């Protein structure tokens, strides 16, 4: 893109566009004195393309509504080769956050940037990297992460990521960090009320202004509340350093709005409330604190969000995709459109979706399902499939009555649309992006896990439990994510197959656990027919299921979750339960012999899984080249306190999963290599 076109398009978008000069590279003449106290949340950069990037800082002023900062971009960290300089407004209306779009940059190039106010007080220096050109054959390397809780953990994984990147050779450095959501946790504990949860120390994030108490948590009720929570997360030194060191590409998950929320509904204690102003506030705070190119309803300017006026009106009617037709719901959700795609060189199309703004209410959370509650920690798969499919179940022939074991109830879903997390328009867009992609790897950043999480309770030994397993065969854990959206997932995967797409990969967060495997629309006994690869990253810091299980009260099925041997750390047998079946987990819990446990694997439980670790924290790194893709899991020890060493503390393991590019119609195959440490219950 040339200068005139960039500036014209930036101007037409209402954006302060800054065009880098290539001819007159000069040393900075700005008087800059680093003053981190004046820029308390540091700097960040987001959504780089092959010639531009959005730069960010926050400079709170005591007075006025509007001030200006000078932003500079240089080829070196000492600003001897400045390529761009501009004035950028910073507004009280945006909580004094500031964004500048800088264009005219070279592709796949590292730059440094900083902001300075008129007194000479300057931000720290940030580093960013532009994307390679769409024709560039170089491999793309990036990290994907999710779920950083500053309330209950330490962000040592970011420290490790920076430490490794600074020591990596040029061709092994990360191009960007993809954050798949739960960048904040809006559910905040106060340490004087809740000093500990599981093995965690609760850290003080301050008081949420106008917060609302929900159980042990306090949640925001307005914009000031969300802004407080963002600042408390970015005040963390490791998060702040990571944002200054790497460009970030972010998409929110549930906690950016509300733990159990969807569209502009919130739900606490089984009570659903319309919350249109809260949805707008959540979107606004995200937009203010995360530099990106997402669309907002107020138009394209980068100076402020421009929230629409909405009221808390009841949302009573739903369209044929379960979306609330009430005008304030449409306006609130439409205030920001976060789903988008980014191109990285010849090999990567990164397609990001939003699983909560357009989702139907999860039918598995509805009280009509309570009748089927059992003493088992899993739900019969056939029940989940019936309530997922709605009127589309069994080719449009849903049963009038649902019968599970000796319990029956009317099928409350038989006249309702199939469950959707994507919503109509986003799904159409996703299919189009996938089928039109010309990149070697079509990488779908699906914030919620896509890999089935199930086991085989039909194989529990007789007498272990008081009740008999009521299901036909397999049982699924939860279903709160895309792995429980059976029909919609099959629709996307069938699209991949029908269009003979190769290089289809899903990457997710949210589960607080590491998973590697295959994208398949069905599992035994229905079949197994993968169309791509799927990976899920462990949380940066938020606690996961295996940790929670260490605190479960004893019950007959506890060995399916955790093994507590005398004088040994608890071990996550849940990994075996999911990957190898209940008999393998019970064997290991009894004997501690992994070979004996693997010998009783049920191969039909998880042909789609090569790796699962419900106890892992850290991050994942993808390397995508012309012939193969490699996803490495870098797992750190449980991040309870901030690491004392600059490497972020010890690793538990580093495991690589590599697949060669497959021909359409042939199944992909992962090769696993444990590069460091011990991952024995996960493989």
Binding site for Fe ion (CB under 5 A): 147, 182, 542
List the one residue out of 89, 86, 91, 115 whose CA is nearest residue 103. Answer: 86
Q: Is the CB of 147 or the CB of 359 nearer to Fe ion? A: 147
Read off the DSSP letter of residue 560.
G
Q: Is the CB of 542 or the CB of 562 nearer to Fe ion? A: 542
C-alpha–C-alpha distance, residues 681 and 672, integer Å: 14
Q: How many CB atoms lie within 10 A of CB 268?
A: 16
Residue 541 CB, nearest approach to Fe ion (Å): 10
Q: How many CB atoms lie within 10 A of CB 242?
A: 27
Q: Is the CB of 128 or the CB of 513 nearer to Fe ion? A: 513
Residue 569 neighbours by CB under 8 Å, 6+ apart: none
Q: Is the CB of 249 or the CB of 348 nearer to Fe ion? A: 249
Q: Is the CB of 95 or the CB of 182 nearer to Fe ion? A: 182
C-alpha–C-alpha distance, residues 637 and 657, integer Å: 20
Q: Is the CB of 534 or the CB of 602 nearer to Fe ion? A: 534
C-alpha–C-alpha distance, residues 56 and 290, integer Å: 8
Residue 574 CB, nearest approach to Fe ion (Å): 17
Number of H helices, E strands in the chain: 14, 37
Residue 479 CB, nearest approach to Fe ion (Å): 16
Residue 256 CB, nearest approach to Fe ion (Å): 10
Structure tokens at 326: 């009430």
User: Which helix (H) or strand (E) covers residue 70, if one does?
Assistant: strand 66-74
Residue pair 520/494 in contact by the 8 Å Cβ criterion: no
Residue 534 CB, nearest approach to Fe ion (Å): 18
Residue 233 CB, nearest approach to Fe ion (Å): 13
Q: Is the CB of 182 or the CB of 632 nearer to Fe ion? A: 182
Read off the DSSP letter of residue 262.
B
Residue 539 CB, nearest approach to Fe ion (Å): 6
Q: Is the CB of 69 or the CB of 251 nearer to Fe ion? A: 251
Q: Is the CB of 32 or the CB of 257 nearer to Fe ion? A: 257
Within 13 Å, how many C-alpha atoms sit on residue 42's CB side?
24
C-alpha–C-alpha distance, residues 97 and 630, integer Å: 37
C-alpha–C-alpha distance, residues 33 and 203, integer Å: 32
C-alpha–C-alpha distance, residues 263 and 355, integer Å: 10
Within 13 Å, how many C-alpha atoms sit on residue 176's CB side?
28
Q: CB burial class (10 A; 0-12, 13-18, 19+) of residue 577?
A: buried
Structure tokens at 336: 């920001």
Q: CB burial class (10 A; 0-12, 13-18, 19+) of residue 569?
A: exposed
Q: Is the CB of 182 or the CB of 189 nearer to Fe ion? A: 182
Strands 176-179 and 140-145: parallel
Give the dihedral sign, CA 380/384/387/392. negative
Residue 207 CB, nearest approach to Fe ion (Å): 23
List the one residue out of 610, 600, 422 whose CA is nearest residue 530. Answer: 610
Residue 99 CB, nearest approach to Fe ion (Å): 26
First to last CA, the chain: 47
Q: Is the CB of 147 or the CB of 315 nearer to Fe ion? A: 147
Residue pair 360/391 in contact by the 8 Å Cβ criterion: no
C-alpha–C-alpha distance, residues 62 and 56, integer Å: 20
Q: Is the CB of 152 or the CB of 182 nearer to Fe ion? A: 182
Residue 148 CB, nearest approach to Fe ion (Å): 9
Residue 531 CB, nearest approach to Fe ion (Å): 27
Residue 182 CB, nearest approach to Fe ion (Å): 4
């Amino acid at each position: 893109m040339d200068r005139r076109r960039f500036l014209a398009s930036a101007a037409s978008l209402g954006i302060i566009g800054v065009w880098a000069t290539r001819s007159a590279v000069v040393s900075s003449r700005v008087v800059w004195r680093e003053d981190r106290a004046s820029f308390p949340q540091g700097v960040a950069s987001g959504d780089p393309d092959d010639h531009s990037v959005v730069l960010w800082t926050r400079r709170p002023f005591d007075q006025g509504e509007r001030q200006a900062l000078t932003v500079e971009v240089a080829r070196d960290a000492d600003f001897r080769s400045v390529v761009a300089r501009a004035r950028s407004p910073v507004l009280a209306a945006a909580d004094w956050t500031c964004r500048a779009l800088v264009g005219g940059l070279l592709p796949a190039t590292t730059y440094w940037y900083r902001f300075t106010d008129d007194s000479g007080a300057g931000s720290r220096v940030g580093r960013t990297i532009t994307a390679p050109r769409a024709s560039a054959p170089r491999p793309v390397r990036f990290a994907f992460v999710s779920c950083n809780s500053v309330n209950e953990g330490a962000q040592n994984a970011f420290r490790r990521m920076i430490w490794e990147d600074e020591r990596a050779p040029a061709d092994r450095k990360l191009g960007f960090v993809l954050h798949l959501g739960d960048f904040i946790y809006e559910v905040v504990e106060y340490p004087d009320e809740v000093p500990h949860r599981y093995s965690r120390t609760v850290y003080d994030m301050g008081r949420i202004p106008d917060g609302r108490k929900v159980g042990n948590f306090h949640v925001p009720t307005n914009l000031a509340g969300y802004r407080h929570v963002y600042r408390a997360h970015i005040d963390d030194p490791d998060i702040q350093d990571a944002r200054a060191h790497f460009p970030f590409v972010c998409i929110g998950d549930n906690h950016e709005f509300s733990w159990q929320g969807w569209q502009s509904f919130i739900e606490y204690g089984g009570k659903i409330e319309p919350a249109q102003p809260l949805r707008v506030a959540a979107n606004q705070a995200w937009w203010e604190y995360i530099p990106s190119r997402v669309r907002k309803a107020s138009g394209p300017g980068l100076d402020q969000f421009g929230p629409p006026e909405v009221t808390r009106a009841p949302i009573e009617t739903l369209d044929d995709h379960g979306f609330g037709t009430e005008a304030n719901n449409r306006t609130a959700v439409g205030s920001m459109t976060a789903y988008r795609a980014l191109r990285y060189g010849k090999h990567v199309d990164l397609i990001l979706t939003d699983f909560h703004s357009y989702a139907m209410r999860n039918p598995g959370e509805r009280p009509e399902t309570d009748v089927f509650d059992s003493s088992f920690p899993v739900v019969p798969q056939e029940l989940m499939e019936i309530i997922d499919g709605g009127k589309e179940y069994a080719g449009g022939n849903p049963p009038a009555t649902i019968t599970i074991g000796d319990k029956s109830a009317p099928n409350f879903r038989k006249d309702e649309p199939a469950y959707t997390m994507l919503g109509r328009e986003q799904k159409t867009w996703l299919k189009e992006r996938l089928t039109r992609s010309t990149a070697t790897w079509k990488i779908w950043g699906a914030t919620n896990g896509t890999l089935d999480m199930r086991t085989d309770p039909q194989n529990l030994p007789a007498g272990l439990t008081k009740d008999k397993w009521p299901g036909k065969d397999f049982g699924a854990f939860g279903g709160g994510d895309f792995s429980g959206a059976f029909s919609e997932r099959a629709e996307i995967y069938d699209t991949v197959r029908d269009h003979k797409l190769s290089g289809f990969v899903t990457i997710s967060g949210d589960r607080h656990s590491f998973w590697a495997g295959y994208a398949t629309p069905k599992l035994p006994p229905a079949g197994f027919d993968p169309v791509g690869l799927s990976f899920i990253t462990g949380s940066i810091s938020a606690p996961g299921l295996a940790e929670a299980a260490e605190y479960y009260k004893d019950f007959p099925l506890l060995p399916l979750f955790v093994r507590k041997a005398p004088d040994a750390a608890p071990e996550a047998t849940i990994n075996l339960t999911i990957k190898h079946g209940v008999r393998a987990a019970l064997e290991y819990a009894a004997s501690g012999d992994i070979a004996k446990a693997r010998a009783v694997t049920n191969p039909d439980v998880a042909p789609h899984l090569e790796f699962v670790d419900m106890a892992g924290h850290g991050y994942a790194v993808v390397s995508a080249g012309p012939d193969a893709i490699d996803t490495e899991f870098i797992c750190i020890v449980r991040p309870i306190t901030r690491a004392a060493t600059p490497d972020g503390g010890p690793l538990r393991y580093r495991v690589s999963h590599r697949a060669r590019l497959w021909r359409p119609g042939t199944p992909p195959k992962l090769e696993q290599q444990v590069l460091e440490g011990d991952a024995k219950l996960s493989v």
